[in-house]
Amino acid sequence: MRVDLSGQVAVVTGVLGRLGGIWADALLGSGAVVVGLDRTTTIPPEFGELLARHPSDRFHLVEADVTETASLRRALETCLVKAGSPTILVNNAGIDQPPAATGGSWHFGDIPADVSEAVLNVNALGVLRVCQVFGPEMVRKGTGSVINIGSLYGSMAPDPRLYEHLPQDPPFLKPPSYGMSKAGAAALTRYLAALWGPQGVRVNTLSPGGVLGGQDPLFRGKFSDRVPLRRMAEATDLTGPLLFLASDMSSYVTGTELLVDGGYVCW
Ligand code: NAD
């Protein structure tokens, strides 16, 4: 079934990242105008190739940082002028650790406070800030779908056995603030679904599991063995769930979390 999002204005944060491009491609392909927000407006080559598939007047790239409310307010103004009121909001910007941090190998007690704070600031408080700036415009219009991009790790601990092949002194530890931030964003989903439901704005979490990327082959194999569907997610596994939540196909769905994880949580 083709999803028709013509007439919709979709705001996507962290649009220049791997999944941001996947969301933008799917939304543009369904007819929406996309206003993409990111910390920079320098378009990476792979994103340029993706954009070339769509009419150029339907994509607007705006510089905005989800940790700075003033920049988000400016982005909303630009969105209203260039595209109109947002009707779809994809809170996708996220980090595992701050760009300045290297690696992720540390003993638990040594994980720097600034790493924890930066992750929570972008992944949890960032979603709150974006919703505070863009949400009231959706509520004013009385329609909209907010999709917060969560993670499997918002409800499951990273399995340390997946990293046992890496050097162990210190071991690789995904920062605990990552899962905490995603659980926090899912809590915000439920809060806003309750608050904005009466005004016609739906709010849901879309939580991917492991998505194929630059992972080393050992990790990829071990992760795939851990998943009932026996593989990591491809981009095309994620676009259907996004379009479902963005469109009227999910008109009676709000406050929920859609896990797209190949069944990882089943065992
Ligand atoms: P990515 O690093 O490729 O892209 C993230 C994007 O967010 C980048 O373009 C970055 O510039 C932007 N960003 C970071 N901080 C920002 C800020 N302060 N303000 C504005 N933009 C900012 O990451 P990705 O793999 O595309 O992940 C996207 C989302 O999906 C994240 O929320 C991530 O936690 C979630 N997720 C990813 C996976 C995966 O396997 N890739 C799995 C589960 C969940």
Is residue 4 a part of any domain in this protein?
Answer: no
Smallest CA separation from ligand 1 atom 33, residue: 94
Is residue 2 a part of any domain in this protein?
Answer: no
pLDDT of 9 above 90 = yes
Does ligand 1 lie within 6 Å of residue 145's CB atom?
A: no
Ligand 1, atom nearest to 210 Cα = 40
Domain that holds residue 84: 9-258
pLDDT of 13 above 70 = yes
pTM of the model: 0.98
Backbone angles phi, psi at 181, to 5 degrees: -65, -40
Q: Specify the pLDDT at position 104.
A: 85
Q: Specify the pLDDT at position 102.
A: 65
d(CA 242, CA 26) in angstroms, rounded, equals 8
> Is residue 62 within 8 Å of residue 93, measured between CB atoms?
no
Q: CATH code at 47?
A: 3.40.50.720
Does ligand 1 lie within 6 Å of residue 93's CB atom?
A: yes
Is residue 1 a part of any domain in this protein?
Answer: no
Does ligand 1 lie within 6 Å of residue 154's CB atom?
A: no
Q: Specify the pLDDT at position 114.
A: 94
Question: What are the tokens at 205?
Answer: 């979490």
Number of domains into which the chain is organized:
1
Is residue 79 a part of any domain in this protein?
Answer: yes
Please give the ipTM for the structure prediction. Answer: 0.99
Does ligand 1 lie within 6 Å of residue 262's CB atom?
A: no
76-129 pLDDT, tens per residue?
999 999 999 999 999 999 999 877 776 788 999 999 999 999 999 999 999 999
Is residue 266 a part of any domain in this protein?
Answer: no
User: pLDDT class for 1, splitting at 50, 70, 90?
Assistant: low
Is residue 187 a part of any domain in this protein?
Answer: yes
173-184: average pLDDT: 96
Smallest CA separation from ligand 1 atom 39, residue: 211
